[in-house]
Chains A and B, each alone.
Chain A
């Protein structure tokens, strides 16, 4: 092996890449964006859970207040916030997704744990905590709660989903949405880049066909394959991972179709700014990864600062994951706010990307 030959090749690579300013910029920009965002989210993203304390019998409400004060002052895990409430109000807050669980104190029996249910880790943490709390309450509270006896049997009630829900069930909706979005983005951006490179797009641009017609046509054409891909991703995920579905799959498909239509147009848009396939790939850490991070897929957004919440609200994947999760895990339907609002947001994102990519289409 000749060191001179190796040096020759190495110098050529460095000289060539140095002139590709985009690539050089990406070497700096990508790690900065990714590491800062991820680091910030990891630090801020400690999962805060809210456990409500209520009495089964409204007359015993003072006991619930006392129990809550006891638990608040006890040395229990700080990630769980204890709040006294009345049972009707507590159920409502659980339905609204405003709290993760409610410990319902019952005269002469161990407390019952009512769980929101759609987040397996929260369910697990609250179940564990409820056991400790019941023991503590036995020791400190007189009156209707039984003192002594065997270790408390915590009876659980689920508002949504059920005890069979596990971690994979919780991640699957994000999995489906993310892969559909990612694959379709790649497919479209590379395919559209080829249209530009081989000159067919330019040829099309000087026919009387309008830009919006071109973009819409491409969207439908690629959309067909996007649909196919969505179908494969959803089916394989459900069958291979044996996901529990608590809602209607139709809404899952609809949300995935809408999000992929947005991905088609984002792909077209990004291909405008790429000169080759390498540059398309460079868009992934900038366009796709932050969406995955901010969509609540890997880290819950509950405890994040406002600016992260706003950022996540500016990204289509957040709405898609939210809606798909609400359907698959929460058993929600199109009439539920989180689902129809998510779908509406996805439609608006798709329209926005269509208009922007139509505007940038002149760039040869």
Chain B
């Protein structure tokens, strides 16, 4: 079953075609990585799935419903690129507030999300006193405290140290094993290698899709970075 199904999605901002006939499907319970250079359309796609943007044309389905429906929103977790947090509230207050917005009012939900991101010892600190990486982790905790069926992560590990990054990916894997679908946009290639499926997007279109091994095999590149550059380059070159 597909958790996300996008068919021929077009989204323009003025003259810019951010998504230009994008189609892709994400199987439930998998981790899907979106790779692409800056301005390729990654964030637009995630915001569209989150229900923050409406497509100009094409069809989008998330958990079998159009994105933005209350039933879909209740089961979606979204972590934006910049940590959107209340600076004057503590870590726990932020997480508990967003969990409650999703109907999870028990403090245990917030506690376990804070623990998940390794910030239990800073639970009572105001967000404004935290480093950039820590804020990023609080933002992630806000996105997962309500135990969403689909988790949208826009560059989630920017500013997170390597040890914690490994730990977080272990947790993402656990969530996926329990049936959650995770969509991650990233620049970081070693992070992309942890995904079940990768989608490469360029100029708002899906350039290539498959497992890491499939993508490498298609280009003959030794690593993912080489494969990505080869695929992007084949489009850039004039026909």
Contacts and interface: CB of A to CB of B under 8 A. Distances in A.
B102 A205 contact: no
Interface of A: 198-200, 202-209, 364
Nearest to A207: B101
Contact of A206 (B51, B86, B87, B103): B51
Contact of B84 (A202, A207, A208): A202
Nearest to A201: B84
Contacts of A208: 70, 73-74, 101-103
B87 A203 contact: no
Interface residues of B, number: 21
Given A198-B85, A199-B84, A200-B85, A207 B142 contact: no
B84 A206 contact: no
A358 to B, nearest CB: 16
A345 to B, nearest CB: 34
A200 B142 CA distance: 11
Main secondary structure of the interface of A (DSSP, over half): loop
Contacts of B101: 204, 207-209
Nearest to B82: A199
B73 A203 contact: no
A203 B94 CA distance: 12
A198 B87 contact: yes
Main secondary structure of the interface of B (DSSP, over half): loop
A364 B142 CA distance: 20
Contacts of B142: 203
Contacts of A207: 73-74, 98, 101-102
A215 B184 CA distance: 31
8 contacts: A198-B85, A198-B86, A200-B86, A202-B52, A203-B142, A206-B68, A207-B101, A364-B52
Contacts, number: 41
A200 B86 CA distance: 7
B175 interface: no
B98 A203 contact: yes
A198 B74 CA distance: 22
A279 to B, nearest CB: 20
A206 B50 contact: yes
B154 to A, nearest CB: 11
A198 B73 CA distance: 21
B80 interface: yes
Interface string B105-131: 000000000000000000000000000
B45 to A, nearest CB: 15
A200 B78 contact: no
Contacts of B136: none
B22 to A, nearest CB: 20
A205 B78 CA distance: 11
A206 B102 CA distance: 9
Interface in B125-182: 142
A199 B81 CA distance: 10
The interface centre, meaning the residue of A198, A203, A208 with most chain B CB atoms within 10 A of its CB, is A203
A206 B85 contact: no
B95 to A, nearest CB: 12
B8 to A, nearest CB: 24
Given A199-B80, A206-B73, 12 more contacts: A198-B84, A199-B83, A200-B84, A202-B52, A203-B80, A203-B142, A204-B101, A206-B68, A207-B98, A208-B101, A208-B103, A209-B101
B76 interface: yes
A361 B78 CA distance: 19
